[in-house]
């Protein structure tokens, strides 16, 4: 798209890649984060309030693979960054 909104804020929704639930496993995300230097757990630079909000958001998610509600919050951190794996018992995972 060429309008100013999409030029400033990225692609329009219909331009996103089609990601199927079987494209991502929680184990693959965990491995990729470990390889990128992240460690399991909340890093010191992330406040407890922010972590609680993230945890609530993850618990409200529906798994696109099996339909379960309430994914598991798994924080990962390193000195300069924070990532969250939202993991389902069925094996699906999403990075937030």
**How many domains is the chain partitioned into structurally?**
1
The answer as to whether 40 is a domain residue is yes
Residue 2: inside a domain: no
Chain segment 48-61, per-residue pLDDT in tens:
999 999 999 999 99
Residues 40-72 as b/e (b if ≥16 CB within 10 A, e otherwise) read eebbeeeeeeebeebbeebeebebebeeeeebe
User: How many other C-beta atoms can be found within 10 angstroms of the C-beta atom of residue 17?
Assistant: 6
61 domain-assigned: yes
pLDDT in tens, 20-29: 445 589 999 9
Yes or no: say if 24 and 17 are a contact pair by the CB < 8 Å rule. no
Domain housing 56 = 20-95
Query: Residue 5: inside a domain, yes or no?
Result: no
pTM: 0.74
Q: Does 69 have pLDDT greater than 50?
A: yes
Asked if the structure places residue 70 within a domain, the reply is yes
């Amino acid at each position: 798209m060429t309008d100013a909104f999409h030029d400033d804020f990225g692609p329009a929704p219909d331009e996103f890649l089609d990601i199927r639930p079987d494209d991502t496993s929680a184990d693959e995300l965990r491995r990729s984060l470990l390889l990128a230097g992240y460690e399991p757990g909340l890093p010191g630079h992330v406040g407890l309030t922010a972590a609680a909000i993230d945890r609530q958001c993850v618990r409200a998610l529906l798994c696109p693979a099996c339909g379960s509600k309430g994914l598991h919050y798994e924080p990962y951190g390193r000195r300069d960054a924070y990532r969250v794996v939202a993991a389902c018992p069925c094996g699906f995972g999403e990075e937030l």
